[in-house]
Each structure stands twice: as structure tokens, then as C-alpha cells.
Structure 1
Amino acid sequence: MTPRHHLDEVTIVGYSAGALPTALAVVAAAHLGICQNCRESLRNADAIGGLLLAQQQSSTMPSTVAREAMLAQLATTQQDEPRQHHDHLRNNDPDALPSPLHPYFGSTFSALRWRMVAPGVHRIRATHVTDGNLMLLRIGPGKSVPMHSHQGNELTMILRGSYDDTLGHFSPGDVADLDCDITHQPITSPGSPCICVAATDAPLRFDGWVARMLQPLIKL
């Protein structure tokens, strides 16, 4: 699995700093687990953050000692790639969910208990996430999500199936990292449902009046 759509650099820096809402951080961690490209960007962000922290901590130290401390911090950060991002890659079970999702949805696809929210659309919400909205979505083949934009940020990772929108084709492992400047209408590919994990930090903004009327019921 080689993703073609990746996390935005701002998201990676926020993840490195521990500044993302829980919902967004969970999806970011799931993508980092399968994406070498984004893990490399995370290592760079961690290294920069480590250097800045070391610089602050050593502001009262002699310049030679401060420089050595910064170099040691950089070397440690580059060598210690966070294992939690790729531990679940060792599990080749096609029924297994990515390990960052286990505390919120369980460990397997087969154990999921879906709730229908619209014809062809099923959802499972992570009810114990208080900062942001985290959910699994299963959308039937050939279905279109209503045209919408975003009042905040949306982070969606494809787990099974695929969809297309104005940003391209999204298949397993790909992540859509969207903000309030993006308006789109995903259309799932024929053949099999599209299953994704999605996180938002604010409600979506639907264009159509029917979708806006239903929004309080489906809580998107």
C-alpha cells in the first residue's frame, strides 16, 4: 500500500507538537502507520521541535555546551522513529483495523456494528472523543456525498474501497487533509463500499437545503 495523498505539512507539525484535537490526531496516526513519506516529514518536524526546545533550555548555558546539546537532541530524534506508527504493519490480517483506531472502534472490520444514517450510508461514532468528531463511514458503491465545504478541518483516511472528487482518486491508505477553502463532492467507486475513518473539528457546511435540514439528525 503506497499512499498518493498525504498529510499536509501543517498537520504534521501540529501532530509533532501534540497540538491536534484527538479526533484529527487519531486519523493522522493511522495514516502515519502506513506512509513512509509522512513519517519522514514527521521525523523532520520532531527534529526541528527538538532543536527549538534544546535551544530554549540551554539559553543560559555556554555556547559550546548549548551547541553540543542541540546536536545530541537532533541525533536522538532522527534515530528514534516512533514505533507506534508502524507496529500494526506487522499484522497482515485483512480483517484488522489500523491499531490507532482500536481504542475507539475495536480491532477488526468484522466486529463493527454499523448504524444506517441514510440510504447506502452507515456510520459508527466514537462517542468518548470530546475534542472533535471521529467516525467510521461505510458508503455504498456509486454513491455521492452531498456537495459541502468545511467550517474547520476534516481529515479522512480510506480503509477499503475508493472515491473520486475534484482533488483526485482516493484509495486505501490515502488521506484527504481538508480545510475551509475546499468544496467537494466525493463519489464512491463502483463495485464495493468505501469505508473510511473521518475526523472533523467543526460541522460541515452543506450546499443543498435537504442536506442542511438533515444535518442535525446525522450529526456531520
Structure 2
Amino acid sequence: MKPHHHLDSSTLIGYSAGALPVAFRAVVSVHLSICRHCRDQLLDADRVGGQLISQQDGAPMPRGARETMLSRLRESAVSTPPRSTPVARVHDPDQLPEPLWPYFGETYSGLRWRTIGPGVHHIRSRNVQDGHLMLLRIAPGRCVPMHSHGGNELTMILQGAYDDSLGHFAPGDVADLDCDVEHQPVTSPGVPCVCVAATDLPLRFSGWLARTLQPLFKL
């Protein structure tokens, strides 16, 4: 699995500083677990943050900022293997990515989906107070209603794929979007598209039907 769509640099900086909402941090963690490119970018963000901290010269800092940055530096040093050493993993197709276990459990077979439309199912995590974290499963060949975003949206593909005006998104790819993006994903034929998504504000649907049903499903 080699992603072609990656995290925005501002997202990585926020993750490095411990400033992301919990929902977004969960999605970032999943992507980092499989993406060498973004892990390398995160190391750069950590180093820059460490230099900024060392140059404060006694200036006041937010509570816990130094400890958060030092912790991230230690985590990166431990969790990022040398380039020459491949990491061997036994893949269980029923197993969710480990960073999602606290929010949805460990397996796909254990998920209890809720239908929110023809061919569309979702699960909203109840363990997140900071932002909204959900799993979506959309049947093959379905067109998601055209929408923009009231705030930010971070989506990672776990299974299947979709296409929109931004390109083709396959397993491991992330769509790191803000309020300026309007799109209409269309899922690929073959298998359902399963993704994990984090938002901080409700979506903005263009169609009247989607807008009418939105309060019911809290999207």
C-alpha cells in the first residue's frame, strides 16, 4: 500500500505540536502507520518545532507545549525505522488499523453499521469529545451528494476507492480538505468504499434532500 495523496504540512505541524483535535489525530495516526513519506515529513516538523522551542530564550510558552514536543520527538525516534530496514507485518484483512481500536473496536466483522441512505452506512464514535470521528461504508458505484465543508475534513480510505475532482483515492490515501473545497465523490466499482473521517463542523450539502436529512444523521 503506497499512498498517492498525503497529509497537508499544516496538519503535520499541528499533529507534531499536539494541537489537533482527537478525531483528526486518530486519522493522522492511521495514515502515518502506513505512509513513509508523511513520517519523514513529520520528523522534519518535529525538528523545526524543537529548534523553535530551544530559541525561546525564556519567553513564556503555552502550558505543556515543551513536554508535548519533546514527547513527539521521542516517539518519532522510536517508531520510525531506518530506511534500509523493512518492517514486516502479518496482514489480517478483518483487522482495523490499530489507532482506531479505542474508537471502533479491532475488527471489521465486529462493526455495527447504521444505514443513512441507499447503499450508505456509518458508525460515529462515542469516545470522541473533540471533533467528530466516523467510519463510512459506501456501496460500489454510488455518488455522494455534492458538498463543501463548514470547517475541516480529513478522510482516509481503508478499503475500496473513489474518484472526485481532486483525483483517484485508493487505500491509504487521505483527503485533507478545508472549507474552500467542494466535491462529489463517486465510489469505484467492485467493492464498497470504507473510510474513516474526521470533521470539526457539519458538512454543507448543495442538494435540498441532503440538507433536509442532515440533522437526522448529524453529518
TM-score interval, normalised by the smaller of the two chains: 0.7 to 0.9
Describe the superposition over 1:125-158 as per-residue Cα deviations: whole angstroms up to 9, x where unpaired: 1012111110000000000110000110000000
Name the counterpart of 1:117. Answer: 116
Counterpart residue identity of residue 192, structure 1: V
Say which structure is richer in helix: 1
Contact 1:95 1:110 in 2 (8 A): yes
- 2: CA distance between counterparts of 1:78 and 1:134? 27
Other structure's SS at 1:81 match: helix
- 2: CA distance between counterparts of 1:142 and 1:31? 25
The number of residue pairs the alignment matches comes to: 203
Describe the superposition over 1:28-72 as per-residue Cα deviations: whole angstroms up to 9, x where unpaired: 11001100000000000001111111222xx26xxxxxxxxxxxx
Note the aligned Cα RMSD (angstroms): 2.3
TM-score (norm: length of structure 2): 0.87
Contact 1:165 1:186 in 2 (8 A): yes
Counterpart residue identity of residue 47, structure 2: A
Describe the superposition over 1:12-33 as per-residue Cα deviations: whole angstroms up to 9, x where unpaired: 0000001111111100110011
Contact 1:34 1:89 in 2 (8 A): no
Distance 1:90 1:124, change over 3 A: same
Structure 2 unpaired stretches of 5+: 59-68, 82-86
Select the structure of larger CA radius of gyration: 1
- 1: CA distance between counterparts of 2:176 and 2:80? 21
Deviation at 1:78, TM superposition (A): 8.9
- 2: CA distance between counterparts of 1:195 and 1:205? 21
Name the counterpart of 2:136. Answer: 137
Q: Does 1:83 align with 2:79?
A: yes
Map 1:43-122 → 2, pairs under 5 A: 43-56=43-56, 59=57, 77=73, 80-83=76-79, 90-122=89-121
Name the counterpart of 1:22. Answer: 22
Deviation at 1:84, TM superposition (A): 8.8
**Percent of aligned pairs with the same amino acid:** 63
- 1: CA distance between counterparts of 2:5 and 2:103? 24
Contact 2:39 2:80 in 1 (8 A): no
TM-score (norm: length of structure 1): 0.87
- 2: CA distance between counterparts of 1:89 and 1:210? 47
Could you list the structure 1 runs, at least 4 aligned residues long, displaced by more than 4 angstroms after superposition: 76-80
